[in-house]
Chains A and B, each alone.
Chain A
């Protein structure tokens, strides 16, 4: 082969040539806005990917760095008038980087241990989470944090970045099937999500409660694994495909109207199943059927309910941060805002640069701590300028990152998943 890629999942030539290098995406790119250097722009990255594909540039360390410096936030896709599917290019390029000698040791470790060993296995994940919870709550944890601070600021911060493990896990407190609190309207499948399950169990609980209040029978599939989104977005497509198939298997036995996701990243990837498995004889039709039923929770709520009858007890100033995987990947942007606008007594204040990445980007904030922090600072400033009391965002990565930002920049703002606020406002029995 005439290129410098070594792995089978090649960046698509067709997508590469669909970029007419007009530059219309430059200003929307958070990393370009850090450096103002074409090298870290979408257009620049596409050109590098092209050169490696054509065998004109070796897969170099600098190339690897740029591919991982990219947040994969896909803001450039939204901005691109020519319809260039940048996300799939950079993800393919990352697969190549992973199979080269230039993968960072930290990211390699995370990918090897977390993506390949812990995420796929629910038991391991929970065991790991319990250990982490013990660590976070214990004196050892506090002591270790102090030592880390002395050894390396970065490690210390990475340690702080990890969202705290929830005091309970979703799938342990809820049964497999949860009946609606009033007349049944839909049966929905709710994959509790690997990270959401152990780190954001509160948000999961809110989701389930809200759905049952709204007449949904909620099924939590017992045998599920990670949906594959984290490995997919970080250059491990092989593992992601494996997990996608396992997910499809575990959902096969149920009858349902929709698959509901409260994690933008997972939702985005489950909607992708039909594309990544389209050439798979065994799974392609199942994947298509499944993907077509996947809805982000806000998308589902907006399309099936009217919220104008609900009212917040007190007037609330709120604002909304758009998760990349919701606005740019799933193109779900108006739905959550429209719901919030429908509810009385909620004052939705527009957030400047709401569609900009918060710097979380999967494990980006762990691997690229410094740039992620700069991007986060910009986000937090924008949030501060709204003077809102609550900032809403529907993705675990964003929730974790913005909560972290709130702490380090000492801000007085509550960071919630939209379902949490909705669940507070909507009382059971409100809907007849």
Chain B
């Protein structure tokens, strides 16, 4: 167990800058998820921490010790790869015990630690099988077993679930989470899937284009995204965003889009400012006539059972609305929505930065 800190870390491949001076700290025992669209540099950052990639500039420290020039094997980390990278010619037992064998541990100690890991991961019946004789989920668990026998300071995961089918992915997600709660080892987990990030993380680092967009707990990112990128990246279905001009008159405020629709807004921003106006699908409430409402026309109705997803045309915009329960609405119906200004996110049109609050 150990804290990890990145200090102005940068990476260039040839002349391309892939990581642009990143700094953040991971606390002892924390489950930190790096999330971002594919190609944003998550794997590169993780691989620098693992010692598989040179650090171009800045420092990375594990447990207070700068590891820039420390070999992978001396960093006391364990990594789970997307492809699992199990040794095909070794049994599950030998795969899991390989690192201990290289460290010249006693045979009896290797056996004991492999058994312990196997018990935690329910791998006991498979110890003498070869990787090719295992299912995807079992291989995934062996890869994790290989990491935990070492009892390292930090676990690294690089998209470990992307090769599994949807159902198994959900199951392994909770298994990894449970494992972390049990072992409490500092974990850095890379994924491009924001749902994985939201469900597993203690804290999330949202990356984009080699830089950090925001760091925070899942709900902080959801409730108060720092910028338009995070707002649109976190949350499923994604946040609705329209662009318009902020009108602030007396106490009330609204954003007027080019098509003439007036969207109720809260505080933040100044009169006449060009803004991006964001509201999550579950924050648009269907209302009857009478109240001040945003009028729209139903385009698509998608029931999922417990919830119904509506695609609504409001002015020129296609807006996603999530309603609880079922509905008798049909495409073509005209409806009105109420939006609580407290649930509205305003971002500067040009910079994408959040406007208070």
A binds B: no
Q: Could you tell me which B residues sit within 8 Å of A by CB distance? A: none
